[in-house]
Structure 1
């Protein structure tokens, strides 16, 4: 019902609202879906770009429904960078209707994984959390640099120089995580929301989530997870504020684990992943 209501709001917006001519500004207006994308665009676009993000802090990209005001704002944008979140498929027909906005599809250089517990891959969306892997972030950054340069050739050199600096930092981040994860004594990472699959795949970890195929585990699957967690002596459950649930605390009490909140959507992408990595390493020492 909520999604249906949102669709009615989108359809009820006047043609003028969605097809208004872009406002002439000194900066190129760019829209992105999530906050880590904003970090990448800001680092590359610098003072030549104004970046707007759809999913604000505290909201979940998986269940997000944009407000009509955001839809009107997109009419002024030059570029929209997708990251393959479900809500993008709902808004794309509306924002491309008569607008001169360039929609940049999900990066083809990234291999999308299926969520853990997927029983029918042909009916399941790929895991969208591609940015939690810094190597994927490098692919996203390269794509952003190429698109910005194509849209604004006058500042192509500026975008390229910014990208090169960012790319070196992302490589350093990857090297740092690789070295730190080797210090872990366990390959298992227990999470409430399965947002860290790409990170785990990249660094040789195995994500154990309180979800299966994007949904809470049933009683039997939950009991199996409890047995596995106890057998592996896992003592930390990583949660996410956008997906808080009383079930998290109940599960942690059942296995006598501490609860640590980590944020895959933090804007300081590089600093955040360094801090998260330290939390992951420390968890294996408990």
Structure 2
């Protein structure tokens, strides 16, 4: 082989080696070096125009402000205010309970890239918040319940009250404006629009529930206390301090349900409905699902209001089950 040909062959070999080295580096960065692809994280789903995201913001995924939240309804609030400027990491996936959930390793890694975490004081937060904060010391932690007077049992379900969500929205706006000052005007416009929507939703629910004001409705898990308080209702839970009732307590519930002519017991998909089903069989009631963690938050509250109104006799010629003195 000629000297010229040998030189050309050496150049080709060097080029191929360089390409292999670069490719190996890219593969390792994507997780190939450990033999596995990067683990997925649970993100708030987007469905185009139906996602509720407000207009205006940053174009391109890399430029978005990364915000972590505990539950799906919070993702809705953040997206209404943040619009296209934010991307949201949801810690508790659909179907899981925020009372018992434990974050995955991939979620904890993803938190290292978040710029803000919005708290709502569900049980898993109380157990995991020190580790969540330690995962990213530069992450702004926003307590969305600050300024809200919680019930005596420290019920965390404040997101089910449109009136209390107004307070949460203000905290979210302030947090976003702090970490992304360039987007302040966008966040301000979006928050104002969101607050108007909350007022309209509150008025709509008040109208739906007005005929049954003063009524009592039975639930498995006490998630709807703030909602009930807002609209002049009383929630009667089967669980006692988060625990299933004893035989004596269950017998008392049966008598109370019969006295109130309860025909519907509400359960939620994150919890075992067995106790509610047993009680329903004893009093001849139906078991109906209300989801306190549904992604489409405003539609879910409207549906809940209609279901409660129907259960209390607002349709079909029945009478509301009024609170007993």
Normalising to structure 1: TM-score of the pair? 0.85
Q: Where does structure 2 lack aligned partners over 5 or more consecutive residues?
A: 1-60, 319-325
Report the Cα offset of residue 185 of structure 1.
6.6
Q: d(CA) in 1 for partners of 2:155 and 2:213? A: 27
Residues 92-107 of structure 1: matches in 2 within 5 Å?
Answer: 92-97=129-134, 99-107=137-145
CA-atom RMSD, angstroms? 1.5
**Is it true that 1:165 corresponds to 2:212 in the alignment?**
no
Cα distance change, pair 100–236 in 1 and its aligned pair in 2 (3 A): same
SS at match of 2:235: strand
Q: d(CA) in 2 for partners of 1:231 and 1:52? A: 46
Residues 195-206 of structure 1: matches in 2 within 5 Å?
Answer: 195-206=223-234
Report the Cα offset of residue 106 of structure 1.
4.1
Dislocated runs of 4+, deviation >6 Å: none
Of 208, 230, 238 in structure 2, the residue corresponding to residue 180 of structure 1 is 208
Q: d(CA) in 1 for partners of 2:133 and 2:160? A: 29
Point out the more displaced range, 199-208 or 85-94: 85-94
Report the Cα offset of residue 96 of structure 1.
2.6
Report the Cα offset of residue 74 of structure 1.
0.5
**Is it true that 1:132 corresponds to 2:160 in the alignment?**
yes
Write out per-residue CA displacement over residues 104-156 of structure 1, whole angstroms, 9 at most, x where no aligned residue: 124222111134xxxxxxxxxx1111111111111111111111112111111
Q: d(CA) in 2 for partners of 1:129 and 1:95? A: 21
Point out the more displaced range, 106-115 or 33-42: 106-115
Write out per-residue CA displacement over residues 192-245 of structure 1, whole angstroms, 9 at most, x where no aligned residue: 111101111111111111101111111111111111110111111111010123
SS at match of 2:63: coil
Q: d(CA) in 1 for partners of 2:147 and 2:213? A: 32
Of 236, 240, 264 in structure 1, the residue corresponding to residue 268 of structure 2 is 240
Q: Contact conserved, 2:213 with 2:232, CA < 8 A, in 1?
A: no
Residues 30-41 of structure 1: matches in 2 within 5 Å?
Answer: 30-41=67-78
**Is it true that 1:59 corresponds to 2:87 in the alignment?**
no
In the comparison of the two structures, how many residue pairs are matched? 253
Cα distance change, pair 281–100 in 1 and its aligned pair in 2 (3 A): same
Find the counterpart in structure 1 of residue 258 from structure 2. Answer: 230
Q: d(CA) in 2 for partners of 1:90 and 1:208? A: 28
Find the counterpart in structure 2 of residue 277 from structure 1. Answer: 305
Q: Contact conserved, 1:185 with 1:284, CA < 8 A, in 2?
A: no
Q: Return the index of the structure with the highest Cα Rg.
A: 2
Find the counterpart in structure 2 of residue 208 from structure 1. Answer: 236
Q: Contact conserved, 1:41 with 1:144, CA < 8 A, in 2?
A: yes
Q: Where does structure 1 lack aligned partners over 5 or more consecutive residues?
A: 1-23, 116-125
Report the Cα offset of residue 89 of structure 1.
2.7
SS at match of 1:252: helix
